[in-house]
Structure 1
Amino acid sequence: MAMLIGIDVGGTNLRLGVVEYDEAIYNAQPRLIEEKRFHADFSNLCKSHQGNPEQAWQTILNTTAAAIESVQVKYPKVSAVGIGFPGFIDPKSQKISQSPNLPGLSNVDLSVDLSRMIELPVITENDALAAAYGEYVMHLSQTNGQTSSQANSLIYLGLGTGVGGGLIINGQPFQGQHGVAMEVGHIAVKPNGRLCGCGNRGCMEQYASASGVVISYFEASGEHCNAHEIANRAYKGDANAIAAYSLAGITLAQALAHILKVIDVANVVIGGGMSAGWSLMEPSFTQQLNEDLIPALRGKVNVSISDMGDQAGMIGAAMLAWQKI
C-alpha cells in the first residue's frame, strides 16, 4: 500500500491531500484520506518581491514544507510528494523555468530544494497537467479499465487565478518537449488586448480567469470586486457582472475551438474554482464554440464540468509522484 502526498499550488491557496493507493490491485482507485487547505497568497507575494525573488522563493519553500510537516507525524509512511505548480516545468530537469502568475520565479528547482527540507522524494509537475491526470485516473477506475476515447484521452481546462490546460493522450500525460504544452491560457484571442503576465497581449486567461472577470467588471463598472462577488451580482441581474462572465465564456470557447482543431480529443473537462460559476458562462460558451468549431467536430465534443472539486490536482500530483518514483 503506497501512501503519498499530493499538493495543488494556486495563486492564493495551497491544497494538500494524503492519498492512499494499493498498487497490488489492478486499476485500483486512489483514495484521498485527508485534505487540508492553507492560505498562501503566492501571487501577491511574488509581485511584491519582484526585486528580491530569492526571498519570495524561500517563503514559498517554507510554506510548502510547513504544510507537509503538518501531516507527516500522523502519516509517517508517506513515501513521496507530488506537487502541481502553476508554471512551465522543464520535463528533463523538473525546474520551474517561468511562472506567469508568480512573477520573478525563474529556473527554480522545487523538487530538489523542497526534498532537502522534508527528506522525501518530490516530483513537480504543471498544476493543470496534474489535475488532468487526476481526472483521468479517477475516470479510468470508474470505467473498470475499459478502453474508450473517453477513458484514454482528455483535455482539461482549469479556470482559476489564470487558465491552465492539461492533455492526457492514451493514458499518458503530455508535457511537450519544453514543458509548455497546453499553456492554453496564453492563446491570444484579442489582438492588442490586455497585457498578460507572459509578456503578450490578448491572452485568453486575461478574460476567462477569475482575474480576467475582475478586470472586465472593473472596466465596465469602475468597482473592484472579487470573482465570487461578481458572480453573486450576476445572479441578481447586474448587467456588468453578467457581461463579464459572458465574455469569459466567449473567450474560453474561442481558444478551445482552436485547440480542438489541432488536438482531436472528444472529451473536455473544465475544472478550477471559476467553474463554480459555469451557469453564467455556459450560454455564451456553447454558442461561441458551435460557431467556431469546424463542421467535422460539431456535435462530437463532450464538454463536462469536473465533479472532483479541489481534489483532481491533489490526486493527480500524488499519482504522478508514485508513477515516476
Structure 2
Amino acid sequence: MVISWGGDRLYQRGLAIGVDIGGSKVAAGVVNPAGRVLERVRTETPDRSKSPKVVEDTIVGVVEELRRRHPVRAVGIGAAGFVDEQRANVLFAPHLSWREEPLRDALRDRLELPVVVENDANAAAWAEARVGAGRGASDVVVVNLGTGIGGAVVIDGELYRGRHGIAGEFGHMTVVPGGHRCECGNRGCWEQYASGNAVTREAREMAAADSPVARALLSAVAGDPRLITGPLVSELAAEGDRACVELMEEAGTWLGVGLANLAAAFDPELFVIGGGVSESGELLLAPARRAFRRSLTGRGYRPEARIEAAELGNEAGLIGAADLARDALPRRRQGRRQGRIGRPARRRRRPGAPE
C-alpha cells in the first residue's frame, strides 16, 4: 500500500494537529501545510501499566488544548507500534498497553475531527522526505536510531507501508546470526549493534571490566557502570574521549553495514539518519559511510546513495503525522495540479486536441 503526496494536496489550505506518542511522553503541535509548527505542547505519558483509555484521555487533552486556539481540520497520530493498513488500529505497541486497539475510531468519536493513525517512524520519514533532509529526492530511506532502530521507505515520492502496514522494521534484520538476544525474541538483530541501547550496553561492559580506557566514563558516573547512558557516551565522544569515540565508531560501522543491506534491497538515492544517536553527527556518520562503501554490493560499479543527518529533530514525527492527516482529507480542486514532490503533473490531452 502506498500513500502519495501528489495531486492538489499541496494547494489544500488548513491546519492540522500532529501527535507523537512515545513510551514516556505525548508531544503535539499545530502544523501548517508548509511543515511549520505554530504551537506545541508536551506532557508525560501515563504509566504504561494503565489502561489504553488513560493514554487516549491524554491525547484528547493535548488536542483540545491546541484546538481552542487554532482552527484545525484534522489530527494525525504517530504511534510507536504496528499500525494496520487502514491506519486505524494499533495492532501492537511495545511500550504501551495497546493490543488491537481501535484508536482512530475512539479519538474520532471524541474529537469530532478526521483522525489518521500512523506508525511514528513512517510519520517522521514522511516529514523528512517532504520538508526535511530528503526534500527534492524521490527515493529515500529514513533510519531512526534511538533506543532501537526504526525506519521507513519513500519510493518515487510515495510512502511505502507494506501490505499489512508494518514495513520498515529495519532494526530487526539479522546481521549477526546467533548474536545478542533482542527484545523481539530473535538474536543478532541490527538494533543490537547500532542503536542507543547497543552503545550503552558496550560502554557499561567496558566500564564493568575496569578497563583503563574507561576511566572518564567511570569518573562521570561516580564508579557505577549502571549509570552510564547513551547520551553520556555521545557527550564524552564529542569532547574527544578515546574510548567513547571508539564506541561511536563501532556503532557507526554497524550502521553502515546495515545500510548496505538496505541499499541492496531498495537502491535509494538518499539515506536520512535520525533519532537521538544521530546527534553525534560525523562521529557516527563518517564510520558509517566508510563501512557502507566496504559492504555495498557491486561496490565500485554502481552509484552510491548519500548518507545525511536528519534535519527536523524531535518534531519530525508530529510534523509528518499532521501532514498525513491533512493528506487524507477530501481534496478540493484548486489551482494547478501538481505531480509527486511538487513537480507539475503532465496534462492529459483531450480527445481530438492537437498534440
Tell me the TM-score range normalised by the shorter chain: 0.7 to 0.9
The separation in 2 between residues aligned to 1:323 and 1:89, in whole angstroms, is 18
Note if contact 1:290-1:298 (Cα within 8 Å) is conserved in structure 2: no
- If asked which structure has higher relative contact order (CA below 8 Å, sep 6+), I would say 2
Structure 1 letter corresponding to 2:112: E
1:207 and 1:216 in contact (8 A); partners too: no
Kindly provide the amino acid, as one letter, of the partner of residue 34 in structure 1.
E
Q: Which residue in the other structure is 2:337 paired with?
A: none
Deviation at 1:203, TM superposition (A): 1.4
Match of 1:310, SS?
Answer: helix
Superposed CA deviations along residues 90-110 of structure 1, whole A, max 9, x for unmatched, are 11363222234x265321222
Q: Does 1:319 align with 2:312?
A: no
- Residues 5, 19 of structure 1: 8 Å contact kept: yes
1:142, distance to aligned residue in structure 2 (A): 6.3
Aligned to 1:225: 228
1:103-152 Cα deviation digits (max 9, x unpaired): 65321222122233333222111111111111222159965xxxxxx2x2
TM superposition score normalised by structure 1 = 0.84
1:47-97, Cα deviation, whole Å (9 max, x unpaired)? xx3xxxxx242332222222222212111x212111111111111363222
The residue number in structure 2 matching 1:80 is 74
SS at match of 1:232: helix
2:207 counterpart letter in structure 1: S
- Partner residue of 2:278? 275
1:260 correspondence with 2:253: no
Report the 3-state secondary structure (helix = DSSP H, G, I; strand = E; otherwise coil) of the residue aligned with 2:43: strand
- More moved, 261-270 vs 89-98: 89-98
Task: State the TM-score, normalizing by the size of structure 2.
Answer: 0.77
Question: For the residues of structure 1 that align with 2:120 and 2:162, how far apart are their CA atoms?
Answer: 15
Residues 1-325 of structure 1: matches in 2 within 5 Å?
1-21=13-33, 29-40=34-45, 45-46=47-48, 49=49, 55-75=50-70, 77-92=71-86, 94-100=88-94, 102=95, 104-138=97-131, 150=137, 152-222=138-208, 223=225, 224-296=227-299, 300-325=304-329
- Deviates further, 175-184 or 278-287: 278-287
Instruction: Specify every segment of 5 or more residues in structure 1 that has no aligned partner in the other structure, as ranges.
Output: 22-28, 50-54, 144-149
Distance 1:79 1:211 in 2: 38
Q: Give the Å deviation of 1:289.
A: 0.8
Note if contact 2:89-2:100 (Cα within 8 Å) is conserved in structure 1.
yes
Q: Distance in 2 between matches of 1:56 and 1:209?
A: 29
What secondary structure, in the 3-state scheme, does the structure 2 residue paired with 1:295 have? coil
Question: Match for 1:116: what amino acid?
Answer: D
Considering only CA atoms, is the larger Rg found in Structure 1 or Structure 2?
2
CA deviation profile, 1:166-200 (whole Å, cap 9, x unmatched): 11112211100112211111111222223222221
1:67 counterpart letter in structure 2: V
C-alpha contact 1:95 1:110 (8 A) present in aligned 2: yes
Structure-2 separation of matches of 1:238 and 1:141: 32
Supply the distance in 2 between the matched residues of 1:244 and 1:234 (Cα, whole angstroms).
8
In structure 2, give the amino acid aligned to 1:294. Answer: T
Shift of 1:155: 0.8
Counterpart amino acid of residue 39 in structure 1: E
- Counterpart of 1:271, as a letter, is G
The whole-number CA distance in structure 1 between the counterparts of 2:52 and 2:303 is 46
Give the residue type in structure 2 aligned to 1:198: C
- Contact conserved, 2:92 with 2:99, CA < 8 A, in 1? yes
Secondary structure, in 3 states, of the residue corresponding to 1:37?
strand
CA contact (8 A) 1:103 1:197 kept: no
Which is worse superposed, 165-174 or 61-70? 61-70
Distance 1:142 1:288, change over 3 A: closer
**Local SS of the residue matching 1:189:** coil
Distance in 1 between residues matched to 2:199 and 2:100, nearest whole Å: 30
Structure 1 position 275, deviation (Å): 1.3
AA of the residue aligned to 1:318? A
Q: CA RMSD in A?
A: 2.3
Moved more, 181-190 or 113-122: 113-122
CA deviations on 1:263-313 (whole Å, 9 max, x unpaired) are 111111111222111232123212211111012576521111112222322
Distance 1:16 1:104, change over 3 A: closer
The separation in 1 between residues aligned to 2:247 and 2:63, in whole angstroms, is: 37
Deviations 1:223-279 (A, max 9, x none): 132221121222344444333322321222221111110111111111122211123
